[in-house]
Chain A
Amino acid sequence: MSSDSVATFERRAADRRATVERTTVPEFDRALADCLAEPAVGVPLPFDGVSLANHPVEIDPSPATLEAAATGVTPVGPAVAEYGSVVVPSDERGAEAISLYPETHVAVLAASDVHASLSTALAEVGEEIAAGLSSAVFATGPSATADMGAPVYGVHGPAELRILLLEDR
């Protein structure tokens, strides 16, 4: 969407302890390599020109590999600028579990998928749900709790959310 929205998204996501790195198709491999802690698991990326194939990321992992993984890579979108949220859509290859179990979730987002507001992003997700998408999670920052007396990040979900924002497409 507008560059304004993207800038807002970056700021808000950072407020919520996510990291956002802008990247492009040619630079993607380097950017991803920088944030991969191994072992890593993932689901294939649907964006033209980028792929997990050149990376040590296991697709269709076994439950044991999933449990041991330090990083999970999934595509996300749409995103919400005003809250710094990304939507994790589910798929048959376990995107939901891969974004949830490992300590770090690397979320790959197309800059064109950033919406200014929650309501328009929700409308888009609503259409996909009506068309059969069975799970979509608005994720904002890492998982968190304050139940133990102070804010702690990384509870049942990831402790780190790293967003790779793909531009120029």
Chain B
Amino acid sequence: MSEERPRSRAGTAARLRELLDTEGAAVEENVSTFNAGRYRRYAEMDATEEYREEARRIKEEAIERLPELVEALTEQVEENGGTVYLADDAADAREYVRKVAADRDAESVVKSKTMTSEEVHLNAGLEADGIDVTETDLAEFVLQLAEEEPSHIVAPAIHKSRSEIAALFSRTFDLDEPLETPEELTRFARERLLERVTEADIGITGANFLTADTGTLALVTNEGNARKCAVTPDTHVAIAGVEKIVPSMADLAPFLELIGPAGAGQDITAYVSLLTPPVETPAIDFEAPGTAGFGDPDDREFHLVLLDNGRTAMREDDDLRETLYCVRCGACANSCANFQQVGGHAFGGETYSGGIATGWEAGIGGPEAAAEFNDLCTGCSRCVDACPVKIDIPWINTVVRDRLNRGEEPGRFDFLVEGLTPDAEPAGLDLGKRLFGNFGTLAKWGSRTAPVANALAASSVARAALERVAGVDRRRDLPRFDPEPLTEWFRSRPDAGPADPTREAVLYPDVYTNYVATGRGKAAVRTLEALGVDVTVPNVGASGRAPLSQGMVATATDRAETVADALSPEIEAGRDVVVVEPSDLALFRREYGKLLDDDRAEMISEHSYELFEYVFGLLEKGADPDALGSPADGDAEVAYHSHCQQRTLDLEAGTVSVLETCGYDVETSDVECCGMAGSFGYKSDYYELSMAVGERLESQFTEPETEGRRVVASGVSCVEQLDSLLERPASHPVHLVDPGGGTDP
């Protein structure tokens, strides 16, 4: 496996490049619109958070009670006059529907959009029996004609532009006059599809929700095709994963409030159908067009296929279970900076795409099924705030990454890094992952041997080797290590703390601040001291962020334990923990809950603050802002890029407020991500994607209103990325308020 890595890296890069070129533009345009709509609608609704809490609670309960709910739903559907089939796997589901079709002598089937039917390859199964299958959702219809796979779970043809669709229709139907406007294209498709609906023998739908108490399926759609498919033919087959069941009708409320906003920023979709089949609406027999009145409702037949296909096992898997709460809204794809650039053909597996695809594909087909795209999740956590059921999607990606790491065979370059990287991971782990995951150890070594390490980093021979063996892209500047770590600088400086401190704090020396960007650490110390804080900078050790981002959960856990051992006595002694790097703060607040025992995790989470959050608090409590640095004449205008995790923790405002208090005029970026995302942008597979993601930030900071502004960013990788995107330099905002401003780089 390892020996093939260099080749497969090039392969991944080439494939991403191709998608960036061919599908990227259409995906970005469409997905960004959905994404902006979600932000707007989530902000507009008074009760967004309450709905999300409630939706989450209902799903937790439903999955907990799943076996009982399957039974209740089955009983109810049967009492209503329908049939329920519990399918173990894809083949089982497919065979059942084929049998239903054979029993009805069906010649043609119309379908509305159902990802679950894609999961079981239903169309191929029916077509093998000579049955004509037509997708009636316009996007699915387009894909069926184009013989392509969905690129988004909600808007499956999102990668296709209008002109491509027009060309496809012209080609397929041999049209004399090309269709041009969206109206013409829609009308054309509508007329074709109406014919297919009126002659169909069976209508197949999915279900967004199933209510166990009434046997009702809820279908959330806009076009009306699901309604037509469900009621026109006399036979209705619905196929849905078992996780779609909720206990009762009343439980639908929060989901119906959220699903339109989460998916495409709609307040509510055009149609929410609550069907309790077999429905009393008479089927319409278009083969007897002249018969007055419709047929006899009693002729209707309804089959519900409930699909397991790995879901029961997911339910028992502590890390994958949350996947089953997913309502397939697509928000995690829309909010993802990488997805916005390449779409689901890169960021997706056989059936599902976007952030949660890792959970679905791994749950259905094992971790290997997510291997190709799992690394596209950078753990930025924007999707967690987007998800209507609050799924910790990055964690699922991390866990699956870890499982994939553990499945690897040892490779031939392992000896190269093993000495450098004493970690808790299996032999055979991708060397690049091992290097990036052990950045803390490397940085310590780099600082100790700084002149040599830095020279090595600048040598083209070394860079070529690093690229080939570990996939570190040579187009990136490597960090330059400071021979004097922050902790040593602090120890050897004369005591400069306030005479009469108001608080005591530990400045957490994260790996970058300690060994690379020591200047921001020194500025932070001076800033806190100027506001009356007695600061210490003890040796604490790396947070575990680096290994966690590579899926090295065991190593990350070791690091977390070390950090907790070092910080616990400080916190117990009444000191606050101040963190410069937002991704480390996010780790303390979120992931430590998964890595440490509850008490320790809670203690660290509660007593840790992001630097500017802390400064903001000090100023609120009366500290004097005049003690801080302020803009030099004509230098007050800044452009600020907050950090992904900083935003999801709601900490952007604190920085902006402090800067404004100090006299700065701040413009902020509003992109999802800078593209660097820790080590992601350093990897040769992802360099170009990372730069493509960065383009938006680049353009925001080169507009007329921002181009003259001094650039600041909170995350160290954001600063690196901005340095490569812009001609002017970027730095951490603490340099703007540092009372000893300018003394350190």
- In the complex, whether B161 has a CB less than 8 A from a CB of chain A is yes
Given A145-B222, A147-B142, A150-B162, answer yes or no on A137-B227 (Cβ-Cβ < 8 Å).
Answer: yes
- Interchain CB contact under 8 A, B253 and A83: no
Q: Name the residue on A nearest B294 (C-beta).
A: A94
Give 1 or 0 for each of B289-312: 1 = CB within 8 Å of chain A CB.
111111001000000000000000
- Interchain CB contact under 8 A, A67 and B198: yes
Given A62-B293, A92-B280, A143-B223, answer yes or no on A126-B270 (Cβ-Cβ < 8 Å).
Answer: no
Give residues 90-149 of A contacting B (CB, 8 Å). Answer: 90-97, 100-101, 118-119, 122-123, 125-126, 129-130, 133-149
- Interchain CB contact under 8 A, B285 and A63: yes
- Interchain CB contact under 8 A, A100 and B162: no
- Interchain CB contact under 8 A, A92 and B282: yes
CB distance from A127 to the nearest CB of B (A): 9
Given A134-B275, A157-B271, answer yes or no on A63-B249 (Cβ-Cβ < 8 Å).
Answer: no
- In the complex, whether A85 has a CB less than 8 A from a CB of chain B is yes
- Interchain CB contact under 8 A, B286 and A63: yes
| Set of chain B residues within 8 Å of A135, measured between Cβ atoms | 231, 273-277, 279-281
| Set of chain A residues within 8 Å of B182, measured between Cβ atoms | 148-152
| Set of chain A residues within 8 Å of B290, measured between Cβ atoms | 62, 64
Q: Name the residue on A nearest B222 (C-beta).
A: A144
- Interchain CB contact under 8 A, B186 and A143: no
Give residues 429-483 of B contacting A (CB, 8 Å). Answer: none
CB distance from A122 to the nearest CB of B (A): 5
Interface centre among B165, B224, B297 (most CB of A within 10 A): B224
Give residues 693-735 of B contacting A (CB, 8 Å). Answer: none
- In the complex, whether A66 has a CB less than 8 A from a CB of chain B is yes
- Interchain CB contact under 8 A, A96 and B227: yes
- In the complex, whether A156 has a CB less than 8 A from a CB of chain B is yes
| Set of chain B residues within 8 Å of A63, measured between Cβ atoms | 198, 284-286, 288-289, 291, 294
- Interchain CB contact under 8 A, B268 and A85: yes
- Interchain CB contact under 8 A, B289 and A149: no
Give residues 252-280 of B contacting A (CB, 8 Å). Answer: 252-253, 256-257, 264, 267-280
- Interchain CB contact under 8 A, A118 and B281: no
- In the complex, whether A61 has a CB less than 8 A from a CB of chain B is yes
- Interchain CB contact under 8 A, A156 and B136: yes
- Interchain CB contact under 8 A, B276 and A144: no
CB distance from A42 to the nearest CB of B (A): 13
How many residues of B sit at the interface, in one of the four size bands?
A: 35 or more
CA distance A139 to B271 in the complex (A): 5
CB distance from B381 to the nearest CB of A (A): 28
| Set of chain A residues within 8 Å of B285, measured between Cβ atoms | 63
- In the complex, whether A37 has a CB less than 8 A from a CB of chain B is no
- Interchain CB contact under 8 A, A148 and B276: no
- Interchain CB contact under 8 A, A141 and B280: no
CB distance from B221 to the nearest CB of A (A): 9
- In the complex, whether A53 has a CB less than 8 A from a CB of chain B is no
CA distance A119 to B291 in the complex (A): 40
- Interchain CB contact under 8 A, A157 and B186: no
- In the complex, whether A155 has a CB less than 8 A from a CB of chain B is yes
| Set of chain A residues within 8 Å of B183, measured between Cβ atoms | 148, 152
CA distance A32 to B256 in the complex (A): 32
- In the complex, whether A60 has a CB less than 8 A from a CB of chain B is yes
Q: Name the residue on A nearest B286 (C-beta).
A: A63
B274 is contacted by which of A92, A137, A147, A148 (Cβ under 8 Å)? A137
- Interchain CB contact under 8 A, A140 and B270: yes
Q: Name the residue on B nearest A157 (C-beta).
A: B224
CB distance from A114 to the nearest CB of B (A): 16
CA distance A135 to B293 in the complex (A): 19
| Set of chain B residues within 8 Å of A95, measured between Cβ atoms | 281
Q: Which residues of B contact A (CB under 8 A)?
A: 80, 136-139, 142, 155, 157, 161-162, 165, 182-183, 185-186, 189-190, 193-194, 197-198, 213-214, 216, 222-225, 227-228, 231-232, 249-250, 252-253, 256-257, 264, 267-282, 284-286, 288-294, 297
**CB<8 Å pairs between A and B, sample of 22:** A60-B294, A63-B289, A92-B297, A93-B294, A97-B281, A100-B228, A118-B256, A122-B252, A129-B274, A129-B276, A135-B231, A135-B274, A135-B276, A139-B271, A140-B271, A141-B270, A143-B223, A143-B270, A144-B223, A147-B139, A148-B182, A155-B223
Closest 6 CB pairs of A and B: A157-B224, A149-B162, A64-B289, A143-B224, A156-B224, A148-B182
Beyond A90-B231, A155-B222, A157-B224, list 9 extra A-B contacts (CB 8 Å). A93-B282, A93-B293, A119-B257, A130-B213, A135-B274, A135-B280, A137-B272, A140-B268, A151-B182
